Chain A
């Protein structure tokens, strides 16, 4: 079975530009979460989507947005990129998401975004 897949793997953007990152969860998983991991730190929660609805949002500016599609894949969008947005963006999928016991979350390999 395929794990969590993210695309692209690497990306270089210029300040002020917009970026879209994509994630396909494990087959059968309905919950997708996005995390930002700055070099040398632990992942920081950005968004969680479950059954196409936003179920949680971390402490990130409105420049960050996301959505989940009917096939449970997800996109993370970041507008007006800043140098500080350079990080590894991770997607995690799990079989359950909201108001239920937490289940295991499995991460993809991430998208390495560099803003220059």
Chain B
């Protein structure tokens, strides 16, 4: 089955700096890659996603890049703010329904 690895497990940045989280996947059949933000005591919140026919997608301060050949994708957050502090999960899915394989999460702390 699919195996998703995520790095780093923890990340601390100064407010205003950029944060980058990286994920790799194992199954070339995966074609949909969402990113979720999870705050304490809450369910994961979809923040951005990318499909395998696209190399990059941006939404305001958040961007995701995908390298299908290398089987890795990354989340970039620019101009970080304290409210960006949360656990971020990457996920991969194949075209067989919404069965997601999640990474182990990155705890992001933005220091004011």
Contact = CB atoms under 8 A, between A and B. Distances in A.
Interface stretch (B63-71, B75-83, B100-108): B100-108
Contacts of B24: none
Interface of B: 4, 6, 31-32, 34, 36, 41-46, 49, 51, 89, 91, 93, 95-105
A104 B46 contact: yes
19 contacts: A33-B98, A33-B99, A35-B100, A41-B104, A42-B6, A42-B89, A43-B44, A43-B100, A44-B102, A97-B97, A98-B97, A104-B49, A105-B98, A105-B100, A106-B46, A108-B43, A109-B42, A110-B42, A110-B43
A102 B95 contact: yes
Given A90-B44, A102-B32, A48 B89 contact: no
In the A-B complex, the 9 residue pairs with the closest CB atoms: A42-B102, A107-B43, A102-B32, A109-B43, A107-B44, A56-B99, A98-B97, A105-B98, A55-B97
A50 B98 CA distance: 10
A48 B43 contact: no
Contacts of B104: 41-42
Contacts of B101: 45
